[in-house]
Amino acid sequence: MLWWARRFRDQQAHKALISFLYKQFTTQLAIGVHQSSAHQASSLFPLLEACHRSKSIYEAKKIHQYLLTNNTHIEERWQLFEKLAQVYIACDLVGLARRVFDEIPKPSVILWNLMIRAYAWNGPFQEAIDLYHGMLNAGVRPTKFTFPFVLKACSGLQDVEVGQEIHEQKGTCPNSSTIVAVLPTVAQANALSQGKAIHGYSVRRNFCNDVVLGTGLLDMYAKCQCISYARRIFDILDVRNEICWSAMIGAYVMCDSMRDALALFVEMVCKSGMKPTPVTLGSILRASAKLNDLSIGRQVHCYAIKSGFELDTMVGNTLLSMYAKCGNIDNAARFFAKMMSKDTVSYSAIISGCVQNGYAEEGLLKFHQMQLSGIEPDVPTMVSVLPACSHLAARQHGACAHGYSIVHGFAIDSLISNALIDMYSKCGNLNFARKVFDMMYVRDIISWNAMIVGYGIHGLGVEALSLFNYMNAAGIKPDDVTFIGLLSACSHSGLVTEGKHWFYAMSQNFNIIPRMEHYICMADLLGRAGLLDEAHIFIQRMPFEADVRVWGSLLAACRIHNNIELGEEVSKKIQGLGPEGTGNFVLLSNIYSAVGKWDDAANVRIMQKNQGFKKSPGCSWVEVNGVIHGFVGGDQSHPQSTQIHEKLEELLVGMKRLGYHAESGFVLQDVEEEEKERILLYHSEKLAIAFGILSLSPRKPILVTKNLRVCGDCHAAIKLISLVTKRRITVRDTSRFHHFTDGICNCGDFW
């Protein structure tokens, strides 16, 4: 009967055959033919063979069941088990295959190899290596097929040493498929010298004209950031297929040479006449995302639609991510909505896209939608969700995400831990952040940076510095971000001497050239401390032209210290730099108001209006029982709006008794004094706090986040509210935390 199975290679025919065989088989059972065991193997073998070819799990399981409940001839029994294990492997049922495999006393080399391959492809990789050792212990000699699989498992484990050991043990000359299998390991370990040795060996053995090997080699070089070597291999190859072209284009993207990637893509399509594959499109889309070039991305999208690749999930996900990274969140959301096959990657991409574009609430909503749709979150999903919680200071959502990560074994991942450090510190729980940090197995530079930044935004400059010293002692090299965190920490804590010291040390001792961001921190540090002239000179002596943000921080310092002359000068400077200094009009107007120059303040407002600038609306958020409540100034849309307003009026009475008077200089609208008091009273942060007081139990601290810096009147008012209500209130604005207790803020009134 076997020849039947061999002749029908077409899947449909196999299905038909199976049902034919299966019926025959069950009829035999029914009429008791199975009792003559001599007949069985001949009928079961072709059946299993057919199951194998058409991957028919149901029938295979039936036969399995039959074999377990009936005694077959002992020799044939193991042959049938061998075949059955192969069927299960072919159907990706590795666990079942293993159970059958373990029953067989002396599995054949072929089955050992297949079993190892199954683990090398699907994991757990360690299982493949253990099996390999088991194979040696059982006295079975590995064949040339064994090694590529074991090496692939080593590469999955990112374990070069085991790979090499096995490589040496086998003592034979590696063939080209062995080399191809070991290359990913080399790349992952960034072991360039070993990669070169393998390359040299391939040259000596004349393997280098093999496209498969060449592609593997060029990919290895690219992953080791050796783009010129990769290109040389590409150029030398006689025959190049689309996989090879795609690999080379992807190599350029990996090495941040977007222009070269695009040029090679054009060459591929126009000159060589190759057709791009979904993988090629993916690489080009990642290139346009990195270039922040929406027009290229759009063109690729058009091509993807025409070629039908738009429906490919991988291409779709890259498109989605491209739109999000180019800041076009509307297109990303629209595309996501109409995607036919959304998977974990799609959800992770849309969640991170929302968060990166400032729609963290929407990101959490998408996460919720993901759970409802039954798609399982994985590590990257949670790494996208946690920053959403950070942005919103959503403590309960953050804690849930942490719990979920622990339960699913994600928490040991350093990306998760890093995101957790950031989440806990931005949610005001610095102790938890430190606990996560301390418990980490391997801390990378991001872990240290996140922790230093955490101390900085809580106004704990001394702690930030001591952690930085500890980092140096541990031999971890700080990077440019470390210094941004460190300098801003010094700035918030008024540590001028330390800040100056580290600013100069970073280029002298650490070889890190200060960027614009570092100069912003320094201007901020000096200005905030009242050293306005020094800050001004510092900016003028910068090695490159200061931008709006640098001047803006000096202007903010002028506002704190009420320095009109310098403020006017700086403001002119900012206006000369173009239309970016939107928020700075507010600062200048505030300076005039603060010293009673109302006309000048009004003029600035008129100027602002004439130039068509609009201050972005201030929003504040507070989380109550896991629900995020958002407020804008004067907001009446909240269901409990009336109570909130009443509460604020009530608080106003208490505040006034303690000497509060509304600082109308912070109101930019041209209205009556009493109206100004109303406007200030209904600022978004005050609304959020009032709602927090109403909804949270008196013992609970109130945590509010704001999308702008907290306003001066609110800062003064919240201090009094904390005194009147005897509650701990925390406001996190764009630059730091303000912890209000008993009428005092820990920022020391400099922010």
Partner DNA sequence: ATAGGGTTAG
Instruction: Return residues touching DNA (CB under 7 A).
Output: 180-181, 184, 211-212, 215-216, 219, 241-244, 246-247, 250, 254, 277-280, 282-283, 286, 289, 313-314, 316-318, 321, 325, 343-346, 348-349, 352, 356, 378-381, 383-384, 386-387, 390, 413-416, 418-419, 422, 444-446, 449-450, 453, 480-481, 484-485, 488, 517, 520, 549, 735
For tokens 């909240």, the residue is 638
d(CA 150, CA 178): 10
DSSP state letters, 426-437: HTT-HHHHHHHH
Residue 95 beta carbon to DNA: minimum distance, rounded to whole angstroms: 22
**Amino acid at site 699:** R
d(CA 117, CA 122): 9
Q: Which two tokens stand for residue 649?
A: 């009026």
Task: CB nearer to DNA: give 455 or 660.
Answer: 455
Residue 343 beta carbon to DNA: minimum distance, rounded to whole angstroms: 5
Angle at 670 between CA 667 and CA 672, to 5 degrees: 85
Pairing of strands 619-624, 702-706: antiparallel
Task: CB nearer to DNA: give 210 or 635.
Answer: 210
Strand order in the sheet with 729-732: 627-632, 619-624, 702-706, 729-732, 737-741, 744-745
Task: CB nearer to DNA: give 72 or 188.
Answer: 188
Residue 353 beta carbon to DNA: minimum distance, rounded to whole angstroms: 7
Residue 662 beta carbon to DNA: minimum distance, rounded to whole angstroms: 30
Residue 9 beta carbon to DNA: minimum distance, rounded to whole angstroms: 22
Q: Which two tokens stand for residue 502?
A: 């580290």
Q: Which two tokens stand for residue 2?
A: 């076997």
Task: CB nearer to DNA: give 89 or 604.
Answer: 89
Residue 185 beta carbon to DNA: minimum distance, rounded to whole angstroms: 11
Task: CB nearer to DNA: give 45 or 303.
Answer: 303
Torsion of CA 118, 123, 125, 129, to 10 degrees: -30
Which residues lie closer than 8 Å to 512 by C-beta, 6 or more apart? 478, 479, 480, 483, 506
Task: CB nearer to DNA: give 355 or 693.
Answer: 355
d(CA 278, CA 304): 8
Residue 500 beta carbon to DNA: minimum distance, rounded to whole angstroms: 18
Residue 171 beta carbon to DNA: minimum distance, rounded to whole angstroms: 24
3-state secondary structure of 142: coil
Task: CB nearer to DNA: give 390 or 571.
Answer: 390
Q: What do you get for the CA distance between the two ends of the chain, in Å?
A: 85
The H-assigned helical ranges of 581-672 are 582-594, 598-610, 641-657
d(CA 160, CA 113): 21
Task: CB nearer to DNA: give 484 or 724.
Answer: 484
DSSP state letters, 7-39: H--SHHHHHHHHHHHHHHHHHHHHHTGGGSGGG
Residues 589 and 668: beta-carbon distance below 8 Å: yes
For tokens 């293993």, the residue is 98
Residue 742 beta carbon to DNA: minimum distance, rounded to whole angstroms: 28
Residue 345 beta carbon to DNA: minimum distance, rounded to whole angstroms: 4
Task: CB nearer to DNA: give 349 or 574.
Answer: 349
For tokens 């061999």, the residue is 6
Question: Quick one: which of 28, 30, 57 has its CA closest to 43?
Answer: 28
Residue 661 beta carbon to DNA: minimum distance, rounded to whole angstroms: 33
Residue 244 beta carbon to DNA: minimum distance, rounded to whole angstroms: 5
Residue 595 beta carbon to DNA: minimum distance, rounded to whole angstroms: 28
Residues 141 and 151: beta-carbon distance below 8 Å: no
For tokens 């096995």, the residue is 166
Task: CB nearer to DNA: give 436 or 667.
Answer: 436
Torsion of CA 433, 436, 439, 440, to 10 degrees: -110
Task: CB nearer to DNA: give 278 or 665.
Answer: 278
Give, for 2, the enclosing helix (H) or strand (E): helix 2-7
Task: CB nearer to DNA: give 17 or 90.
Answer: 90
Angle at which helices 582-594 and 564-576 cross, to 10°: 160
Angle at 731 between CA 729 and CA 736, to 5 degrees: 135
Task: CB nearer to DNA: give 127 or 210.
Answer: 210
Q: What are phi and psi of 229, to 5 degrees?
A: -65, -45
Residue 484 beta carbon to DNA: minimum distance, rounded to whole angstroms: 4
**Amino acid at site 127:** E
Task: CB nearer to DNA: give 628 or 648.
Answer: 628
